[in-house]
Amino acid sequence: MSSRPSPGSPDASAPRDPEASSYRPFLEGEGVVLRGVTLSDVTDDYCRWLNDPDVSQYLETRFFPQSRESIEGYVNALTASRDSVFLAIVAKKSGTHIGNIKIGPINWIHRFADISLVLGDKANWGKGYGADAIRTMTRYAFSRLNLHRLQAHIYAANVGSEKAFLKVGYRQEGTFRQKRFHEGGYGDEKYFAILRAEWDDAMTGRGRTVR
């Protein structure tokens, strides 16, 4: 895997002003905006998300207690990486940080990447924000990062995530049997993906162009 930034990515040597960019929208969906995650986002609420069994039941972080220090280290590592794009999901109406979404690791040679997300604010579950964030990030991956393929690995029991990815146009490509330890036993993992051509066709069918 190449560690080089993609064409058109910002210069790694360029100065950054974290405070100036903390709440600047980077991508805009229908009901959410996506912006860079900063250390100021690592609040008590954020820490509660990752230690809440309801929120973390399909996250690999659930096997270990998540401290503020460990979360800050994770945020620092991802924001410094040129092989991942890590963004906060913010509800437009309230301006509340409700979760995060990530593309990465990105394989810049073969032009594919994983996509994953967490909606930590349970008060905003069931409102379509997950699918909106996936759609917004997918558009960005294909139109601005020039990726060819996005893929998602989902616990078979995670029906909410499966519905969100299917709604955006991802297709199930396979099932890995008993791959994930979950709730005292081994469960299947489902594999979903979407290709750039499929995304373009879907957008054309909706009378929209990819931006």
CATH number at residue 134: 3.40.630.30
What is the reported pLDDT for 5?
34
pLDDT > 70? residue 186: yes
13 belongs to a structural domain: no
8 belongs to a structural domain: no
Burial status of residue 161 (CB atoms within 10 A of its CB: 0-12, 13-18, 19 or more): buried
- At 33-48, the pLDDT tens digits run 999 999 999 999 999 9
7 belongs to a structural domain: no
146 belongs to a structural domain: yes
State mean pLDDT over 48-67: 82
pLDDT > 90? residue 207: no
Could you tell me the two tokens for 38?
Answer: 């900063």
CB neighbour list of residue 181: distance below 8 Å, 6 or more residues apart: 187
pLDDT > 90? residue 134: yes
6 belongs to a structural domain: no
What is the reported pLDDT for 83?
96
**For the whole model, what pTM was predicted?**
0.83
Number of domains in the chain: 1
For the residues of 62-129, what is the DSSP string, one character each? GGS---HHHHHHHHHHHHH-SS-EEEEEEETTT--EEEEEEEEEEETTTTEEEEEEEE--GGGTTSSH
Q: Are 58 and 113 in contact (CB under 8 A)?
A: no
210 belongs to a structural domain: no
State mean pLDDT over 167-186: 93
Burial status of residue 170 (CB atoms within 10 A of its CB: 0-12, 13-18, 19 or more): buried
Q: Which amino acid is at 175?
A: T
State mean pLDDT over 82-106: 95
| Edge-to-edge order in the sheet of strand 149-155 | 27-28, 32-36, 85-91, 97-107, 112-119, 149-155, 185-195, 171-182
59 belongs to a structural domain: yes
pLDDT > 50? residue 9: no
pLDDT > 80? residue 184: yes
Domain of 118 in residue numbering reads as 18-205
81 belongs to a structural domain: yes
> Could you tell me which of 54, 91, 52, 97 has the C-alpha nearest to residue 75?
97
